[in-house]
């Protein structure tokens, strides 16, 4: 995925960092009210478990408070730690995606071990889906490729990226790429994440008394370690250089890169439609052909969005549209997906409608906030002041 500024992740490093602008200048925490400091943290901590487990219809409305409070230490703390790590390292969205994939691998491979337990969903309303997934078992390692794509991909999109992009869209641009936690907050988030993981691992309904083999556990651990290492590579920390609107450049990028940056980014709706199509293709066919289609569609969407992100005009609205499409697909699919436990038709319908309303409110509010922000930044400067 693109970085925060929509630049090529392989662009050469700038010779010197530009002076802070009003959009990127650091904000002193002491100048912010307590709510403005902790508000985004609390919002992300609460939104992550809801998006991960409720946004696609997994629970009824009556279960929402318990899901958020019980899984907040796991999902909410993980989302906070991933965002803080990526923002402090300067890795942007490529780092967030890779760290989200590492979290998904740890969660499904080491914590609840659903990736290797082919009977994990047999006591739920998804028993038929679980049986179909066994058609894509990977020899020796004993996991379903279809489940791996769905579990890890779902965590990347719904557990991590959707909550982060929503909350970041509501905060001001000056805080959007800054850390939100201090040392105490980081330690607390880390402790809560470890506690939440331990609770799931030790709970009879979490790991379901299944224990993966040493080979399976080693595979999951090494995969997660490789993803974390890739997320911390220096190449993601290369920032954006200004490009002259008529095609000139003050850096040493290739002509193709300059030409791409000089092009205008499409409307944010197109980014959302591309990602929406990729998300729909992931579960199109429940066999190896379906896995191939899902991987190819996801790769195609990633390439298209990354190329668009190199163009002039790419911004937070595009990022919100791209990741928000995953939430829209999940909310639409809630009408077709059963909850984990049997629910009455009325309970299921109320839950599905609630998901739809919350999705519209969250995305609509975020886009409204960005539109207001964009209008404010476009306001004319007072007489006698320059834009420099």
DSSP line for 328-362:
HHHHHHTTTSPPSS---HHHHHHHHHHHHHHHHHH
What pLDDT, on a 0 to 100 scale, did the predictor assign at position 261? 52
What pLDDT, on a 0 to 100 scale, did the predictor assign at position 352? 92
- Residues 155 and 162: their CA atoms lie apart, in Å, by 10
What pLDDT, on a 0 to 100 scale, did the predictor assign at position 14? 37
- Residues 7 and 4: their CA atoms lie apart, in Å, by 8
**β-strand 143-144 against 137-138: which pairing, if any?**
antiparallel
Q: Please, which residues bridge with residue 312 across strands?
A: 264
Cα distances from 366 to residues 80, 100, 121, in angstroms, run 19, 22, 35
Q: Is 380 helix (H, G, I), strand (E, B) or coil?
A: coil
- Residues 277 and 287: their CA atoms lie apart, in Å, by 19
What pLDDT, on a 0 to 100 scale, did the predictor assign at position 350? 93
pLDDT tens by residue, the chain, 388 residues: 444 444 333 333 333 333 333 344 444 544 666 777 889 999 999 999 999 999 998 898 999 999 999 999 999 999 999 999 999 988 889 999 999 999 999 999 999 999 998 878 777 777 777 777 788 889 889 898 988 998 999 999 999 999 999 999 999 888 898 999 999 999 999 999 999 999 988 876 677 778 889 999 999 999 999 999 999 988 766 554 443 333 333 344 455 555 555 689 999 999 999 999 998 888 777 788 889 999 999 999 999 999 999 899 999 999 999 999 999 999 999 998 887 777 788 888 999 999 999 999 999 999 999 988 877 654 444 434 333 3
Return all residues near 215 (Cβ < 8 A) that are at least 6 apart.
Answer: 140, 141
- Residues 157 and 294: their CA atoms lie apart, in Å, by 14
What pLDDT, on a 0 to 100 scale, did the predictor assign at position 128? 73
What pLDDT, on a 0 to 100 scale, did the predictor assign at position 367? 95
pTM: 0.83
- Residues 237 and 138: their CA atoms lie apart, in Å, by 35
């Amino acid at each position: 995925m693109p970085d925060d500024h929509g630049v090529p992740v392989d662009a050469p490093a700038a010779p010197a960092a530009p002076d802070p602008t009003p959009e990127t200048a650091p904000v002193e925490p002491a100048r912010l009210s307590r709510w403005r400091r902790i508000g985004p943290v609390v919002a992300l901590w609460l939104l992550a478990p809801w998006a991960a487990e409720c946004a696609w219809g997994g629970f009824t409305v009556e279960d929402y408070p318990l899901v958020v409070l019980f899984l907040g230490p796991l999902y909410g703390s993980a989302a906070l730690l991933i965002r803080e790590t990526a923002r402090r390292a300067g890795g942007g969205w490529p780092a967030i995606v890779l760290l989200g994939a590492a979290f998904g691998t740890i969660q499904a491979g080491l914590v609840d071990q659903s990736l290797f337990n082919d009977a994990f969903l047999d006591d739920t309303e998804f028993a038929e889906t679980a049986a179909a997934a066994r058609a894509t078992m990977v020899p020796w390692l004993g996991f379903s490729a279809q489940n791996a794509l769905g579990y890890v991909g779902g965590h990347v999109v719904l557990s991590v990226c959707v909550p982060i992009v929503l909350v970041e869209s509501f905060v001001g641009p000056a805080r959007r790429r800054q850390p939100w936690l201090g040392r105490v907050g980081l330690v607390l988030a880390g402790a809560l994440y470890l506690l939440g993981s331990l609770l799931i691992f030790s709970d009879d309904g979490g790991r379901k008394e299944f224990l993966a083999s040493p080979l399976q556990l080693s595979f999951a651990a090494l995969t997660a370690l490789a993803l974390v290492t890739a997320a911390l590579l220096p190449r993601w920390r290369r920032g954006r250089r200004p490009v002259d609107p008529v095609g000139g450049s003050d850096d040493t990028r290739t002509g193709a890169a300059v030409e791409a940056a000089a092009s205008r980014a499409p409307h944010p709706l197109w980014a959302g439609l591309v990602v929406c199509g990729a998300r729909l293709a992931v579960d199109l066919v429940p066999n190896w052909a379906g896995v191939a289609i899902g991987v190819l569609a996801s790769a195609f969407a990633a390439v298209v969005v990354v190329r668009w992100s190199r163009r002039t005009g790419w911004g937070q609205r595009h990022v919100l549209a791209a990741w928000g499409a995953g939430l829209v697909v999940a909310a639409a699919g809630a009408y077709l997906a059963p909850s984990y436990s049997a629910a009455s038709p009325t309970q299921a319908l109320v839950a599905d409608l609630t998901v739809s309303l919350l999705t519209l409110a969250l995305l609509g509010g975020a886009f409204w906030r960005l539109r207001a922000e964009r209008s404010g930044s476009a306001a004319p400067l007072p007489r006698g002041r320059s834009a420099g």
